[in-house]
């Protein structure tokens, strides 16, 4: 079995462009789990990968809509059918619980079939009103950018490596993906299955290396940049792309709030909170890190949440059967522990959790609930990116909304209430790209036909839906003019032409709105 897996991995390495003998071997968060090493790419390899993608794009862009849809539909099936193998890869690289790793597979499958069913319509040529009725025919075409660079983090390595790439590919681009060094195999498997589904070799390639070197080289070579990661790095990426007049979409950090109203179903709220706060050990951009609870139910809410979180099963191993897994890197574990320690120094109280658990796994941190967090505390405004949430009571809804908006971020938020009309009204006042009512983040993130992205320091651009596809194209307007030209003719002077056009525009007002 081991030899078969190694042979499969060796075959998959054809998708990685690397000419060096420098091998990087990631360390699994699971004790005793081995992750195969991959030879690092060089700056010259980035140029090779992009050139290979440019050649492949000449073929891919002429592929029919029907063929693209068939490939994506087959990919949907392959991802679901090979889920056990993919889950093993994701778990070994990230340490997350298997059920939460499965969310990545569902997300990729949903994106693939959404594009298979809707991509042609999204990208279809659009007929627009022309300058002169009948005499001017105007159409807007969506032209692919060319080669898209996709730079992805370690926390959701399968879906973030390929879901944005799917949208870019369906739009007629080719892609070069630079995954995080910790999670290279999730990206490699994702591309390998897509090629198995029918994508031409070279249309999606991978380069591996550190972000500063490889990421910069990729930004300097491609026609569009799709980045997911921290806000600090996103600023650098955006500036680098802008210096070349190359577009970029940036899905960055968040300090995501949840507002729990006095009429909330608390049993349901517990399920929502546990999933929203502790999925993937809190290592996701849309994780809830702040909960504001109506004071009238605060004590009951806290007691129930402590009870629920205290009962979560923590493990660090391959397979099913536990609720919260490991953190992915030692650096993130230390950052989380330091954030909690700093919060306590600034007056916070640890209600449950708050400790590293090396007895369970080398990178396990307990799901943590904090109280008495001052609005001025570091943890009130700075992203932790770990299994840590603080809970604060509020007296009025306006106070809760102000607290929710008291951050430079604006990625995801949620409102828990039985009165969904009231929930919608409150949601509209929260400065956030996505707001889920009676859900943490799954309702909005899983609605792949609708745009997902951030406001403020949470980034630029959107993934999902038509917006997530059209970011990878340039609109091109083509007009055909018949019989008359634009400008004075038939012997008219400039003054006569102006008077004629004035009367024509007034007449057109009664026919349609221009």
Query: Which residues does the annotation mark as catalytic?
Result: 251, 285
The DSSP symbol for 279 reads G
**Residue 462 · residue 452 · CB < 8 Å:** yes
Could you tell me whether strands 473-481 and 136-144 are parallel, antiparallel, or unpaired per DSSP bridges?
Answer: antiparallel
- Pair of tokens at residue 122: 């999204």
Alpha carbon distances (Å) from 326 to 28, 229, 279, 382: 10, 20, 11, 22
Backbone angles phi, psi at 96, to 5 degrees: -75, 160
CA distance 335 to 155: 15
The answer to whether 177 touches 165, Cβ cutoff 8 Å, is yes
Q: Are 217 and 193 in contact (CB under 8 A)?
A: no
What SS3 class is residue 418? coil
Kindly state the helix (H) or strand (E) to which residue 270 belongs, with its residue range: helix 266-278
| Residues 438, 405: Cα–Cα separation, whole Å | 19
The secondary structure of residue 213, as a DSSP letter, is I
- 269: tokens are 């709220």
Residue 400, C-beta contacts closer than 8 angstroms, at least 6 positions apart: 259, 292, 294, 394, 426
Taking a C-beta distance cutoff of 8 angstroms, is the pair 134, 201 a contact?
A: no
Is residue 373 within 8 Å of 348, Cβ to Cβ?
yes
CA distance 107 to 89: 16
Q: By three-state DSSP, how is residue 204 classified?
A: strand
- Beta-sheet pairing, 204-206 with 174-178: parallel
Helix (H, G, I), strand (E, B) or coil at 132: coil
Sign (positive or negative) of CA dihedral 210, 216, 217, 219: positive
> Nearest-5° angle of CA 411, CA 417, CA 419?
115
3 state SS of 116: helix
3-state SS class at 164:
helix
H-run or E-run covering 506: helix 494-509
Q: State the Cα–Cα distance between residues 171 and 204, nearest whole angstrom.
A: 13
Please choose, from the candidates 193, 159, 175, the residue with its C-alpha nearest in 3D space to the C-alpha of residue 452.
Answer: 159
């Amino acid at each position: 079995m081991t030899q078969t897996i190694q042979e499969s991995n060796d075959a998959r390495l054809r998708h990685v462009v690397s000419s060096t003998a420098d091998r990087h071997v990631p360390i699994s968060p699971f004790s005793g789990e081995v992750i195969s090493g991959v030879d690092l790419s060089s700056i010259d390899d980035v140029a090779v990968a992009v050139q290979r993608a440019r050649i492949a794009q000449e073929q891919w862009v002429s592929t029919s809509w029907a063929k693209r849809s068939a490939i994506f539909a087959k990919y949907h099936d392959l991802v679901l059918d090979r889920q056990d193998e993919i889950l093993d890869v994701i778990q070994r690289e990230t340490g997350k619980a298997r059920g939460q790793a499965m969310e990545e597979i569902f997300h990729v499958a949903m994106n693939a079939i959404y594009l298979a069913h809707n991509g042609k319509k999204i990208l279809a040529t659009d007929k627009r009103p022309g300058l002169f009725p009948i005499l001017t025919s105007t159409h807007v075409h969506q032209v692919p950018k060319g080669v898209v660079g996709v730079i992805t983090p370690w926390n959701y390595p399968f879906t973030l490596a390929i879901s944005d790439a799917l949208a870019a590919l369906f739009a007629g681009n080719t892609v070069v993906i630079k995954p995080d060094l910790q999670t290279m195999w999730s990206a490699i498997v994702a591309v390998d299955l897509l090629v198995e589904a029918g994508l031409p070799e070279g249309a999606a390639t991978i380069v591996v290396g550190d972000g500063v070197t490889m990421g910069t080289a990729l930004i300097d070579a491609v026609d569009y940049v799709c980045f997911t990661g921290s806000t600090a790095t996103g600023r650098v990426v955006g500036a680098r792309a802008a210096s070349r007049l190359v577009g970029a979409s940036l899905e960055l950090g968040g300090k995501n709030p949840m507002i729990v109203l006095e009429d909330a179903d608390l049993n349901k709220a517990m399920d929502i909170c546990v999933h929203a706060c502790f999925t993937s050990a809190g290592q996701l951009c849309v994780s809830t890190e702040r909960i504001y609870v109506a004071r009238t139910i605060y004590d009951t809410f806290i007691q129930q949440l402590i009870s629920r979180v205290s009962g979560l099963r923590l493990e660090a191993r391959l397979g099913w059967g536990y609720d919260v897994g490991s953190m992915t890197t030692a650096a993130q574990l230390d950052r989380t522990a330091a954030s909690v320690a700093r919060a306590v120094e600034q007056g916070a109280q640890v209600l449950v959790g708050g400790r590293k658990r090396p007895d369970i796994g080398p990178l396990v941190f307990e799901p943590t609930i904090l109280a008495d967090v001052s609005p001025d505390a570091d943890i009130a405004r700075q992203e932790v990116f770990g299994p840590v949430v603080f809970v604060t009571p509020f007296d009025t809804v306006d106070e809760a909304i102000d607290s929710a908006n008291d951050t430079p971020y604006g990625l995801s938020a949620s409102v828990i209430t039985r009165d969904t009309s009231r929930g919608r009204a409150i949601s509209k006042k929260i400065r956030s790209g996505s707001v889920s009512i009676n859900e943490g983040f799954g309702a909005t993130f899983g609605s792949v036909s609708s745009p997902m992205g951030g406001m403020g320091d949470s980034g630029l651009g959107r993934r999902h839906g038509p917006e997530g596809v059209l970011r990878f194209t340039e609109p091109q307007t083509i007009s055909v003019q018949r019989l008359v030209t634009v400008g004075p003719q038939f012997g008219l002077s400039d003054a006569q032409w102006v008077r004629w056009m004035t009367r024509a525009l007034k007449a057109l007002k009664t026919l349609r709105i221009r």
